[in-house]
Amino acid sequence: MTHPGQLLKQRELYAGKELGQNFLSNPGTARLIVEKIELSKDTRVLEIGSGLGALTIPVAQTASHVTTVEKDSRLIPLLQQELDNENLKNVEIINKDIFKVDIKKIAKDKKLVVIGNLPYNISSQILIRLIEERSCIEKAFLMFQKELAKRIIAPPGGRDYSRLSAVVQYAADISFVAQIGPSSFFPRPDVDSTILKFNFFETKEFNKEQEKVLFNVIKAAFSKRRKTLKNSMTGGGELEFKKEFVVHALELAGIDAHRRAETLTVEEFKSLARAVLETS
């Protein structure tokens, strides 16, 4: 693995701050991640943000096939050069924004393993996109800013528990993999990073349209998180709830209207969404 600083210098390039680029530069960290993923010769991998190939190369050496999506066109020749140096032919590079990529088309008839050192500025949006496409994803190993990772895995009842926590915990079993310090990246970020593992599951209780209602209920509940549910949900989210409707739905779900969103479990949010669907 060539150090990213050296590769960039060769082409007189720089890490793009606007793209949130901090390239993995520690081969030991890359090896740790690959070991944790437990790849096999049958695994098809989708990598989000290949950068200069620090993860792409060791993953491709073990997996059946890697599709790597990289938005920054400046990096593609450098990445291809690194792949050629390792004689790796099982990597497809897509020079595109991940939000414009058809994940189902990449998966074909086999579920994907998704990996990524995600740009800090859009990592939560990428995670939501993966939840929406989880029918074709088996699991994901993703790197986040430490503070965001804390929010994702936070249990109900604390200040870290958020809309993102509830949505992600509805769709996946989440586990901590490793903490990565700033020295493993180039350029060095100002914060620590955390790798989380997501085992996605399809929920039978809600179809796609009902799931949208659930997500809007969660969004409305957290829209004014310092207020009680009957006040925070009024006019919040895309459903534009009226107070009488909110109070009735909470009563039907068996939830005290004076509670706050951060105290509700995922199961209680699901009960509330069912109540909203029943009374709509």
Across the range 114-119, mean pLDDT stands at: 92
Q: How confident is the model at residue 256 (pLDDT cuts 50, 70, 90)?
A: very high
| Cα of 18 vs its chain's centroid, Å | 19
User: What's the mean per-residue pLDDT of the chain?
Assistant: 91
Task: Find, among 49, 51, 70, 73, the residue nearest to 4 by Cα.
Answer: 51
4/246: higher pLDDT: 246
Quote the pTM value. 0.91
Which pLDDT value is given to residue 12?
A: 65
Dist CA 278 CA 280 (whole Å): 6
Instruction: Please tell me the total number of residues recorded for the chain in this structure.
Output: 280
- Using CB atoms within 10 A of its CB, is residue 270 exposed (0-12), middle (13-18) or buried (19+)? buried
Residue 260 has pLDDT above 90, yes or no: yes
pLDDT 10s digits, 196-224: 999 999 888 899 999 999 999 999 999 98
Alpha-carbon torsion angle 79, 57, 47, 174, nearest 10: -150
- The predicted structure's pLDDT at residue 16: 60
Over residues 261-267, mean pLDDT: 97
C-alpha distances (whole Å) from 205 to each of 115, 210, 239, 258 are 28, 9, 20, 27
Using 50, 70 and 90 to split pLDDT, how confident is the model at 19? low
Q: Quick check: helix, strand or coil at residue 178?
A: strand
